[in-house]
């Protein structure tokens, strides 16, 4: 039971990060029907933005401090939001009118470009992200039995829940959010209703990228090694999470992220008992995805779209 | 000239060309001129890329089904064929050597092994295709990607084929061949590239091809016209996977070393980039794309000074620029060939080439029909 609770905590923690990244995928897909392959790299950019803010603002040497973390988090989110808007403006907007395949290749091109710029500029060796919470030296809090939760895990949970609630509020309670939903419902009709669709799309990229950057900084509090290629696999799994929950569906992305995070951790924790090596960890997300899509092609919470002739 | 003489002539020319280039690439060289090993390797890898791109074009370009898991099928072909070579082919080869001589025995065994790799890859394609081809568009893309990753991770966990350390030969040397023999040379690779092109070209021009193109243009309409869309999609998928398996088998027996890192997600993407760059639904475009994408990163190695560090940055930036300036690919859906050259000479202006505005070439009246 203790191990189960422990695995669940660890799994949901990883899942919360996937959920934050998956939100960006799902929002962009909901509006543009575009798999934004560069999103995983925006997550990486966010982590590095946090790293350099901490480095140049001298926050890295100040020792554990919650305020420093929040400054770094906000800074990284703003930088990533700008990066996301730049990507949308200069790469995706010009090809929006072309076929899906073109935009997909464009997304892949942007992804490769970001990765290669980072590799060329700072090399592929991992950097150590400063530990703002002191959780690597501090004992984790005992819950009950032998299960424990570290300070970093608590912060990850709280920050991600806060961000998700904020997003929910923006999307469902504000005028901008209404415009976003209108654009994702039908871009041309939204335009006819006087919505500045370009601005809304830009804003969607900004919000999604900021969430990914938050995911990047929070991951780095848990696992401090950051490198330019960290976004590839995490990005893919987050995308899988978005599809799993029903792409275009915001609660679905959160659900998918948590499910995949938990499943992964359970495979590592319990897989040996039923003959699955922990090296299958990376396959489990895809296996779940395939199963779900075959049984319910629109994802767990997605709605089926009737195709018209 | 009767058609069959033309065909035989074409075959002779192709075989002579392949053998000639192969001799040129060998250590002795052709008439004293040899191609440096680096270029020879590049040429061989280009041939393998052509097989991959042209076969992916059948499913993605002509049938319109997003597949970003081609590297997975390549991996299946590569690993299954090399597995046979390493563990089971020795006795057969020895037995055959007694009957037909060493060279022919080797060739026969290798042909069998390639076909085995193709068969296993085709089976994998069938296994993946039947359930997943019910899905459409991006969902299919992501499922093929998922299958490719799962295939890769499964291979990574099989110790008999080397697992994470890579596959160089029998894991325990007394069990089989300690190193993978280099069976594949340019005659094999180029030969199979030509075979792939001819087979895909003929499929596309057959009734099956018409069905595939109708699925790409409008799946619902095709189904309403009585095309069994699922059946044709699976057929295209299986053929495409079989050729990917052949490419994998050739790759394994050329490189003599297999590692799952060669079959990652990015490899599938690279094949997809080749056909999008060349123009979807154009065989010559796929060939062109395969050549460019294989050679471009190597050409960029020649950049002066500091720029060489930015080789891959320039590569990806070029990709973006090409997509911005020519989103339908270099060839669009057109084919490059003698008729195309003739037509452009006859009508230098005002002749809208077939395939523009997304109209596929198959639906345009062919030039012969127009002349009648």
The answer to the question of residue A181 being in a domain is: yes
- The verdict on B204 touching A (C-beta cutoff 8 Å) is no
- The verdict on A291 touching B (C-beta cutoff 8 Å) is no
Residue B325 Cα, gap to closest chain A Cα (Å): 9
The answer to the question of residue A144 being in a domain is: yes
- The verdict on B78 touching A (C-beta cutoff 8 Å) is no
- The verdict on B172 touching A (C-beta cutoff 8 Å) is no
DSSP assignment of B225-291 equals TT--HHHHHHHHHHHHHHHHHHHHHHHHHHHS-B-GGGGSHHHHHHHHHHHHHH-TT-HHHHHHHHH
| Sign of the Cα pseudo-torsion (B154, B159, B165, B170, in order) | negative
Residue B368 has pLDDT above 60, yes or no: no
Structure-model confidence comparison of residues A96 and B174, the more confident one: A96
Res B363: pLDDT: 46
Token reading at B35: 């191609």
The residue segments making up the domain with residue A64 are: 21-229
- Cα A189 to Cα A30, A34, A182, A185: the distances in Å are 15, 19, 8, 8
Residue B258 backbone phi and psi in degrees, to 5: -120, 140
The interface pTM score, or ipTM, of the predicted complex is: 0.83
Interface contact flag, A109 B157, Cβ < 8 Å = no
Band (pLDDT 50/70/90 cuts) for residue B27 is: low
B81-130, pLDDT tens digit by residue?
999 999 888 888 888 888 888 888 888 999 999 999 999 999 999 998 88
Res A305: pLDDT: 57
Residue B190 Cα, gap to closest chain A Cα (Å): 28
Instruction: Report the domain count for chain A.
Output: 1
Which residues are B33's β-sheet partners? Answer: B30
Residue B64 has pLDDT above 90, yes or no: no
Size of interface A-B (CB pairs under 8 A): 119
Res B202: pLDDT: 93
Res A223: pLDDT: 84
Q: Which residues of chain B are within 8 Å of residue A300 when distances are taken between CB atoms?
A: none
- Indicate the CATH number of B45-350 among 1.10.3470, 1.10.472, 2.60.40, 2.40.50: 1.10.3470
Res B30: pLDDT: 65
Nearest to residue A52, comparing CAs of A110, A111, A167, A130? A130
Q: Is A212 helix (H, G, I), strand (E, B) or coil?
A: helix
Q: Is A155 helix (H, G, I), strand (E, B) or coil?
A: helix
B137, B320, B327 member nearest A113 (Cβ): B320
Query: Which residue from A minimizes the CA distance to B219?
Result: A309
Interface contact flag, B319 A112, Cβ < 8 Å = yes
Res A268: pLDDT: 85
Interface contact flag, B315 A112, Cβ < 8 Å = yes
- The verdict on B56 touching A (C-beta cutoff 8 Å) is no
| Lowest mean pLDDT, pick from A60-69, A187-196, A277-286, B309-318 | A60-69
Residue A300 has pLDDT above 50, yes or no: yes
Structure-model confidence comparison of residues B24 and B150, the more confident one: B150
B185-224, pLDDT tens digit by residue?
888 999 999 999 999 999 999 999 999 999 988 888 998 9
Q: What's the start-to-end Cα distance of chain A, in Å?
A: 54
B305-329, pLDDT tens digit by residue?
777 777 788 888 888 888 888 777 7
The answer to the question of residue A282 being in a domain is: no
B154, B146 contact by CB (below 8 A): no
Interface contact flag, B273 A297, Cβ < 8 Å = no
Domain boundaries, chain B: 1-35, 45-350
- Cα A14 to Cα A69, A290, B15: the distances in Å are 19, 21, 57
């Amino acid at each position: 039971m203790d191990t189960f609770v422990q695995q669940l905590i660890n799994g949901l923690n990883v899942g919360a990060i996937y959920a934050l990244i998956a939100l960006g995928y799902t929002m962009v897909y909901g509006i543009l029907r575009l798999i934004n392959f560069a999103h995983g790299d925006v997550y990486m950019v966010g982590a590095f933005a946090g790293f350099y803010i901490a480095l140049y603002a001298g926050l890295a040497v100040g020792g554990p401090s919650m305020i420093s973390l929040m400054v770094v988090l906000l800074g990284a989110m703003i930088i990533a939001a700008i990066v996301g808007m730049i990507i949308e403006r200069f790469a995706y907007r010009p090809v929006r009118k072309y076929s899906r395949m073109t935009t997909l290749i464009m997304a892949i091109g942007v992804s490769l470009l970001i990765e290669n710029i980072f590799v060329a500029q700072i090399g592929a060796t991992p950097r150590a992200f400063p530990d703002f919470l002191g959780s690597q030296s501090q004992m984790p809090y005992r819950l009950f039995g032998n299960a424990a939760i570290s300070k970093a895990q608590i912060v990850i949970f709280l920050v991600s829940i806060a961000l998700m609630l904020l997003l929910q509020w923006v999307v469902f309670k504000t005028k901008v959010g209404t415009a976003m939903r209108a654009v994702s419902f039908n871009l041309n009709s939204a335009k006819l209703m006087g919505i500045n669709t370009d601005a809304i799309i830009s804003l969607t990229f900004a919000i999604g990228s900021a969430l990914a950057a938050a995911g990047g900084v929070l991951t780095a509090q848990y696992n401090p090694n950051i490198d330019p290629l960290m976004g590839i696999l995490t990005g893919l799994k987050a995308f899988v999470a978005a599809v799993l929950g029903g792409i275009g569906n915001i609660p679905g992305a959160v659900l998918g992220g948590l499910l995949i995070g938990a499943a992964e951790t359970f495979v590592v924790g319990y897989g040996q008992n039923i003959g699955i090596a922990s090296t299958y960890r990376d396959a489990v997300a895809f296996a779940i995805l395939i199963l779900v899509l075959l049984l319910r092609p629109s994802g767990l919470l997605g709605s089926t779209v009737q195709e018209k002739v | 000239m009767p058609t069959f003489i033309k065909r035989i002539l074409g075959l002779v020319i192709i075989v002579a060309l392949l053998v000639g280039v192969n001799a040129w690439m060998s250590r002795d060289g052709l008439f004293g001129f040899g191609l440096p090993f680096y270029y020879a390797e590049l040429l061989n890898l280009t041939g393998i890329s052509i097989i991959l791109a042209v076969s992916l074009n059948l499913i993605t370009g002509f049938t319109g089904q997003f597949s970003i898991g081609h590297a997975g099928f390549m991996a299946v072909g590569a690993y299954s064929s090399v597995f046979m070579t390493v563990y089971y082919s020795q006795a057969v080869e020895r037995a055959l050597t007694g009957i037909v001589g060493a060279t022919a025995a080797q060739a026969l065994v290798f042909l069998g092994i390639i076909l085995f790799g193709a068969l296993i890859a085709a089976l994998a394609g069938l296994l993946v295709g039947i359930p997943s081809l019910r899905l459409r568009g991006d969902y299919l893309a992501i499922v093929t990607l998922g299958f490719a990753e799962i295939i890769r991770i499964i291979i990574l966990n099989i110790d008999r084929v080397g697992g994470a350390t890579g596959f160089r030969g029998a894991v325990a040397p007394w069990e089989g061949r300690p190193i993978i023999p280099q069976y594949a040379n340019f005659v094999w690779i180029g030969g199979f590239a030509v075979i792939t092109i001819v087979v895909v070209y003929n499929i596309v021009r057959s009734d099956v091809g018409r069905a595939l193109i109708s699925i790409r243009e409008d799946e619902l309409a095709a189904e309403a016209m009585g095309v069994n869309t699922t059946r044709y999609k699976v057929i295209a998928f299986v053929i495409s996977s079989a050729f990917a398996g052949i490419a994998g088998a050739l790759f394994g027996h050329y490189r003599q070393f297999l590692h799952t890192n060669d079959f990652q997600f990015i490899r599938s993407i690279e094949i997809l980039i080749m056909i999008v760059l060349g123009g979807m639904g154009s065989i010559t475009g796929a060939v062109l794309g395969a050549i460019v994408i294989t050679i471009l990163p190597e050409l960029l190695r020649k950049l002066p000074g500091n720029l060489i560090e930015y080789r891959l940055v320039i590569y990806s930036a070029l990709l973006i620029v090409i997509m911005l300036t020519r989103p339908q690919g270099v060839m669009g859906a057109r084919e490059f060939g003698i008729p195309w050259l003739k037509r452009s000479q006859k009508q230098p202006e005002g002749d809208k080439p077939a395939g523009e505005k997304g109209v596929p070439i198959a639906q345009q009246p062919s030039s012969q029909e127009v002349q009648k």
